Amino acid sequence: MKKKVLYLTRLDPKNLISWSGSNYFLLRALSQNFDVKIVGPLNNRVRFLHLFKRIFFSFLSIKYDIDRSLFVAKCFARQIEKKIVDKKYDFILTSDTYLVSFLKTLKPIYIFTDCLFETYYNHYFKEQSVHEKNFQEGQYLERLAINRSRKIILTSNWAVKNAVEKYKISKHKIFYLPFGANLKSIPGKNVILKNIRKKNMKICNLISIGVHWSRKGMSKAVDLVEKINELGQASKLYIVGAKPKKNFSLFTNTVLINFLNKNKFSDKIKLFKLLKNSHFHILFSKSEAYGVVNAEASAFGLYTITHEIGGISGAIKNNINGKRFSITANIDLIAKYIINIFQNKKNFIQKSNSSRDFYDKNLNWKIIGNKLKKIIEN
């Protein structure tokens, strides 16, 4: 008989947009081996009481996190308790740590997320002022959740290392396990490998996917495609989702694609076509706790060119499914690296095949679901 798990999430786990679809695919991974009872999405009215605080402090350029309020966390805990009062379950799993900080339960709690609170704040908001009391409450909530959890699973060794250092967590309690590709109906390996061999090698197509132009480093991606063309290799960059602040007419080798909603079949087909026709995936994020788009690129056999930053190393392994360059790396160096791979068809196919192989063995949610089961049950 399958064990019963309560899967707690503030957001709608069936929405492929929320948290880039990770809630949905984590739910599917759990469902492979456990009887899952979903508790979520939660009623967010309590958050609106603090929305005005966030808006007010944003005008002062101060970061204020609504969910890291003691009051909000307690309200969510009481809401969850009412929903589960008659439910029988063996353990709880969540990615939202603050949901279990005050939750009254004697059952084991497991946390599976990309990074813990202090790591997240130090990584994403290191150059921004943070509301001091709000940060202290967030730290308190995180420590409560950590102390109450049986095991903590994080998506990169970077996140694991930081968690151990900042929260003094026992190494026996914390594990590394990446998230997978958040795409439905990914083509089989033979289909992808056949497509790789048949790709047109006249124009090098790059793809970069992300909503935030600045944080995702889209300007650098634009500079890269311009440099590749300048060095004599015809190339195009397709940016999906992000919009520049400056005049698009300046970008002669860049094509902007509107945000593609994974919940819409037509948008999914467009995204699949773009991934299928691309040669490399570019992600020059200035900050990134993991980046599930890296796993999605690998699923289509795309070799990822990215930065050595944050938790990207959890999904991209050097010379296997991509290359992590220093954030200060010269754009000429990166452009020449891509050209050298692209202009050697045998090498290009080998890199592409290696990317897909890494997806099949490590970034596939079915594989991840089985590894998650072992971590929980051992």
Domain that holds residue 61: 4-176
Do 133 and 264 lie in one domain? The reply is no
Q: Are residues 17 and 136 in the same domain?
A: yes
Using one digit for the tens of pLDDT, what is the confidence trace for 264-312?
Answer: 999 999 999 999 999 999 999 999 999 999 999 999 999 999 999 999 9
pLDDT digits (tens, 9 = 90+) for 174-196: 999 999 999 999 999 999 999 99
Last residue of a domain, one of 128, 143, 176: 176
Give me 73's structure tokens: 């966390």
Beta strands, E only, the chain: 4-8, 35-39, 62-63, 91-94, 109-113, 129-130, 151-154, 174-176, 204-209, 235-240, 254-257, 280-283, 303-307, 322-325
Whether residues 209 and 147 share a domain: the answer is no
User: Does residue 132 share a domain with residue 202?
Assistant: no
Alpha-carbon gap, residue 355 to 316, rounded angstroms: 9
181 falls within a domain: no
Domain boundary among 176, 198, 215: 176
Q: pTM score, two decimals?
A: 0.95
Beta bridge partners of 120: none
One domain, residues 304 and 212: yes
Residues 147 and 233 in one domain: no
Q: Are residues 347 and 218 in the same domain?
A: yes
**Domain identity same for 244 and 158:** no
Digit-coded pLDDT (tens) for 61-101:
999 999 999 999 999 999 999 999 988 999 999 999 999 99
Domain count, the chain: 2
Looking at the domain assignment, is residue 40 inside a domain?
Answer: yes
Give yes or no for residue 49 having a pLDDT over 90.
no
3-state helix, strand and coil shares in percent for the chain, rounded to the nearest 5: 50, 15, 35
The model's confidence at residue 245, banded by pLDDT at 50, 70 and 90, is: confident
Residue 289 CA to residue 102 CA, distance in Å, equals 26
Query: In 3D, which of 293, 342, 299, 294 has the Cα closest to residue 318?
Result: 294
Give the Cβ contact number of residue 257 at 10 Å: 15
Q: Are residues 340 and 193 in the same domain?
A: yes
Q: Which of helix, strand or coil describes residue 289?
A: coil
Residue 356 pLDDT class (50, 70, 90 cuts)? very high
Q: Is residue 195 domain-shared with residue 150, that is, in the same domain? A: no
Q: Give the domain CATH number at 61.
A: 3.40.50
Residue 219 lies in a domain: yes
Say yes or no: 100 and 197 in one domain: no
Looking at the structure, do residues 146 and 272 belong to the same domain, yes or no?
Answer: no
- Phi/psi for 167 (5° steps) reads -115, 5
Which of 153, 176, 199 terminates a domain? The answer is 176
Cα separation, 18 vs 26, in Å, equals 12
Note whether 4 and 89 are within 8 A (CB): yes
